[in-house]
Amino acid sequence: MTFITISEVGPRDGLQSIKPVMPLEAKKAWIAAEAACGIPEIEVGSFVPPSLLPQMADTAELVRFARGIEGLNVVALVPNAKGAARAIEAGVHGFSAPFSQSETHSIRNVRKTHAQMLESIAEMGAMAKEAGVHFAVGLATAFGCTIEGAVSEAVVVRNAVASIEAGAMELSLSDTTGYADPAQVKRLVRAVRAEVGDKLTTLHLHNTRGLGLANALAGLEEGITTLDASLGGLGGCPYAPGASGNLVTEDLVLMLNAMGLNTGIDLEKLLKVRAILADALPDEPLYGFTPDAGVMLDYNERIAK
Question: How do the pLDDT tens digits run along the chain, 305 residues long?
Answer: 689 999 999 999 999 988 899 999 999 999 999 999 999 999 999 999 999 899 999 999 999 999 999 999 999 999 999 999 999 999 999 999 999 999 988 898 788 999 999 999 999 999 999 999 999 999 999 999 988 999 999 999 999 999 999 999 999 999 998 999 999 999 999 999 999 999 999 999 999 889 999 999 999 999 999 999 999 999 755 554 444 579 999 999 999 999 999 999 999 999 999 999 999 999 998 999 999 999 999 999 999 76
Residue 237: active-site member: yes
CA gap 89, 77 in Å, rounded: 14
pLDDT for the residue numbered 56: 97
pLDDT for the residue numbered 108: 86
What residue numbers bound the domain in which 100 lies? 5-304
Torsion 126-129-135-139 (CA) sign: positive
Tell which residue, 116, 127, 206, 229, has the closest CA to residue 162.
Answer: 116
pLDDT for the residue numbered 236: 57
Catalytic residue selected from 48, 53, 180, 237: 237
The structure's pTM equals 0.95
Rounded to 10 degrees, the C-alpha dihedral 283/288/293/296 comes to: -150
Q: Any idea what the Cα angle at residue 188 is, between residues 212 and 84, rounded to 5°?
A: 80
DSSP state of 202: E
Rg (CA), the chain: 18
**Contact call for residues 252 and 6 (beta carbons, < 8 A):** yes
pLDDT for the residue numbered 111: 87
Could you write out the DSSP letters of every residue in 158-182?
HHHHHHHHHT-SEEEEE-TTS---H
Q: Could you tell me how many residues make up the chain?
A: 305
Residues 6+ apart with CB under 8 A from 287: 207, 232, 233, 245, 248
| Torsion angles phi and psi, residue 249, rounded to 5 | -55, -45
pLDDT for the residue numbered 240: 47
pLDDT for the residue numbered 304: 73
| Torsion angles phi and psi, residue 89, rounded to 5 | -60, -35
Tell which residue, 11, 63, 71, 64, has the closest CA to residue 40.
Answer: 71
Which amino acid would we find at residue 266? D
CA gap 211, 89 in Å, rounded: 38
CATH code (residue 76): 3.20.20.70
| Tally of domains in the chain | 1
